[in-house]
Amino acid sequence: MIISTGFFRAVVGCILGSSLMGCTGGALYTPLGRELTDMPPAPLGNTVAGDRYYFSNGRREKVTAVENDLIAVRRSSRYQYLRFQDFTLPAKSISSRKGVTSYDMVKINPAESLWPLAVGKRIRFELVNTSAGTADGEAANPSKFWECAVEGMQTVAVISGEFETYRVECLRKNRRNKIKQYVTYYYAPAIQQVVLRVDSYSYKPAKRLELVAFRPSLSMLSKASERRFRRHFQHTLETVASGTTTSWWSRRSDTRIHTTPTITRKLGTGLYCRNFLISVNAKGSVRSGAGLACRNAEGEWRIPRKIDTHNGELTF
């Protein structure tokens, strides 16, 4: 994975002391980088209960359960969904204030698979709404037909850092073969996560969703150990120079966590923010994360709830 000074405009790498001096101000920006040709095939990520995701539009998600290739995700007390491990496949079911919507996914060619990701691979499937429909059991909504293909490899700079990614492009058609939606995913093998998703439609403006942070599960830690690690994380972001890795160890759970601040920046109304990498090694199983944390008015480093990529304004 690359973490680059190209992530911010005119970024100056800062060596932090208690005063956090030496960083310049400016806005975040999110360019697509150069095309790549030499990335090895990328495996599908391994999701674990307790994983947390933070997105640029203010959305926060927590994985509550994992069973085989299905993952239960809670966005809020009123919005939960069940999705596949494969991010290109739409949700299996969605539970919201409007009720529960369920889908069945049928592969057009069962032998097709995108994994491990490699340029040229493709998959086609039909998505059928199986929620309560007409009296004879027919689905309330028509089928949707999806096609996804691995179209390329490139660097991409987002709020959580700069990554080498696979670009996966999907399109949705209706039964009349009319294209209704394009979705482009940028998947970073280094943290095994989608760091950028762009949705384009034939009937409304496009949407862009960036990963602000991915934090691997800490469910192997006791509550007391997790509190100690959080203090260590705060101390690392407050005092450690960019590019320096600190290590924390829980003997009881045999877990080692390595944290590396990478870039420091002033954003919004002068708040200091730092990109970081995190590696969680629990009994030999290693999982990686990355993100952006900012120091709030109380002096605590927190992942922003919402961030405007144009002017750098933050909401906690």
3-state SS, one letter per residue, for 160-211: CEEEEEEEEEEEEECCCCCEEEEEEEEEECCCCEEEEEEEEECCCCCEEEEE
Same domain, yes or no, for 85 and 176? yes
* Full residue range of the structural domain in which residue 107 is found: 52-214
What's the gap between Cα 206 and its chain centre? 19
CATH number at residue 98: 2.40.360.10
Q: What is the DSSP string of 91-154?
A: PSEEEETTEEEEEEEEESSTT----SB-TT-EEEEEEEE-SS-STTS--SS--EEEEEEEEEEE
Express each pLDDT in 2-60 by its tens digit.
333 233 322 323 433 333 434 544 445 556 788 999 999 999 999 999 999 999 999 99
Mean pLDDT of 59-82: 95
Same domain, yes or no, for 96 and 23? no
Give me the percent of the chain exceeding a pLDDT of 70.
85
Express each pLDDT in 245-280 by its tens digit.
999 999 999 999 999 999 998 887 788 999 999 999
CB neighbour list of residue 300: distance below 8 Å, 6 or more residues apart: 234
User: ∠ CA 24-27-28 to the nearest 5 degrees?
Assistant: 110
Specify the DSSP element, H or E, that contains 249.
Answer: strand 246-250
Mean pLDDT of 112-137: 82
What does the buried/exposed string (b/e) look like for 260-270 if buried means 16 or more CB atoms within 10 Å of the residue's CB? bbbbbbbbbee
Q: For the chain, how many structural domains are there in total? A: 2
Same domain, yes or no, for 153 and 195? yes
Mean pLDDT of 205-220: 95
Of the listed ranges 218-227, 280-289, 299-308, the one predicted with least confidence: 299-308
42 lies in some domain: no
Same domain, yes or no, for 97 and 202? yes
CA 96/CA 184 separation, integer angstroms? 25
Same domain, yes or no, for 72 and 196? yes
Same domain, yes or no, for 290 and 226? yes
Count of CA atoms in the C-beta half-sphere (13 A) of 278: 29
pLDDT, residue 138, reads 44
Same domain, yes or no, for 91 and 175? yes
Of the residues 161, 191, 214, which one is the last residue of a structural domain? 214
Same domain, yes or no, for 268 and 286? yes
Of the residues 214, 240, 261, which one is the last residue of a structural domain? 214
Same domain, yes or no, for 23 and 81? no
pLDDT, residue 174, reads 86
Same domain, yes or no, for 75 and 103? yes
Of the residues 214, 233, 257, which one is the last residue of a structural domain? 214
Same domain, yes or no, for 231 and 199? no
pLDDT, residue 13, reads 34
In the structure, what pLDDT confidence band is assigned to residue 311 with cuts at 50, 70 and 90? low
Q: Which amino acid is at 172?
A: R
Same domain, yes or no, for 227 and 203? no
